[in-house]
Amino acid sequence: MGKYRLLALDLDGTLLNDRQEISDTNKEWIRKATEAGVTVIASTGRGFPTALPIVEQLGLDTPMITVNGGEVWTKPHSLHRRITLATDMIMKLHMLAERHPVAWFWAYATDGIYNKEQWVDDTYSRTWLKFGYYDEDTSVIAKLWEELLTWEGLELSNSSPQNIEVNAKGVSKAAAIEEVCRMIGCEMSEAVAVGDSLNDLAAIRAAGLGVAMGNAQDAVKAEADVVTGTNNEHGVAQVIQNYILKA
């Protein structure tokens, strides 16, 4: 066993290329990492239902981190921990979205995704995990971000410069990776976190090796220990080759 025992991979913009595919090269090197005893996990802003098919493609039966750390799974279909976003806050976030009608919005509940086109009749009948805003006009996103910063009890991040992702305070991929480390019996110094967006930043700071993709936002690259290739250049495979199996 090398220096690193856990590899936490973001999905969109990291493991997946721009066609939303896992390259054969990435698949091959993930297999080599698992055969070497490294625990490879998904660490994503996606909800469990949309993250699961990607994990299944890789044949992984390892822990999963979904909705930016709001859920930690011992393995697929086995929930370990869930941190929810209060329904009153969801209603407040929804009202903010309605004050900016050009912006798209969505929210993850435990029973599915609701959005601008299909919202719920009874908000209190569901258990909520995350709320998000999207707009091609980044000035709209900047205005929303500025207002949300004045609210208490929230963790703000993004998965692209055109969106905002809102979780309950304290929810992050970093906190979730720490929990997975406890579960498998390793230290954060033995973890590698790879990502491209602000929802990866806390994990990249906290992990033993924080890796930004070549296509990552500049703020993420600035704080990463290393920068790998882009998501279209098998950047994940490069991390495994250059840092994990060589460590």
What are 33-89's pLDDT values in tens digits? Answer: 999 999 999 999 999 999 999 999 999 999 999 999 999 999 999 999 999 999 999
Q: Region 173-184: what's the mean pLDDT?
A: 98
Q: Region 147-167: what's the mean pLDDT?
A: 97
pTM here is 0.96
pLDDT in tens, 91-117: 999 999 999 888 999 999 999 999 999
Work out the pLDDT band at 2, boundaries 50, 70, 90: confident
Q: In the annotation, is 10 catalytic?
A: yes
Work out the pLDDT band at 30, boundaries 50, 70, 90: very high
Q: What is the pLDDT of residue 247?
A: 57
Q: What is the pLDDT of residue 101?
A: 87
What tokens does 189 get? 């110094």
Q: Region 138-150: what's the mean pLDDT?
A: 96
Residue ranges and CATH numbers for the domains of the chain are 6-82+171-244 (3.40.50.1000), 87-168 (3.30.1240.10)
Work out the angle at residue 22's Cα, subtended by the Cα atoms of residues 134 and 218, and round it to the nearest 5 degrees.
45
Q: Which residues contact 64 (CB under 8 A, 6 or more apart)?
A: 41, 42, 48, 51, 52, 55, 71, 72, 73, 75, 76
Share of the chain above pLDDT 90, in %: 97
Question: Could you tell me how far CA 30 lies from the centroid of its own chain?
Answer: 18
- Mapped onto helix, strand or coil, the DSSP state of residue 170 is coil
Q: What is the pLDDT of residue 185?
A: 97
pLDDT in tens, 181-229: 999 999 999 999 999 999 999 999 999 999 999 999 999 999 999 999 9
Q: What is the pLDDT of residue 102?
A: 87
Work out the pLDDT band at 246, boundaries 50, 70, 90: confident
What tokens does 63 get? 């822990």
pLDDT surpassing 90 at residue 126: yes
Q: What is the pLDDT of residue 87?
A: 97
Q: Region 153-179: what's the mean pLDDT?
A: 97
The strand order across the sheet containing 128-134 reads 112-115, 104-109, 128-134, 163-168, 154-157
Q: What is the pLDDT of residue 1?
A: 55
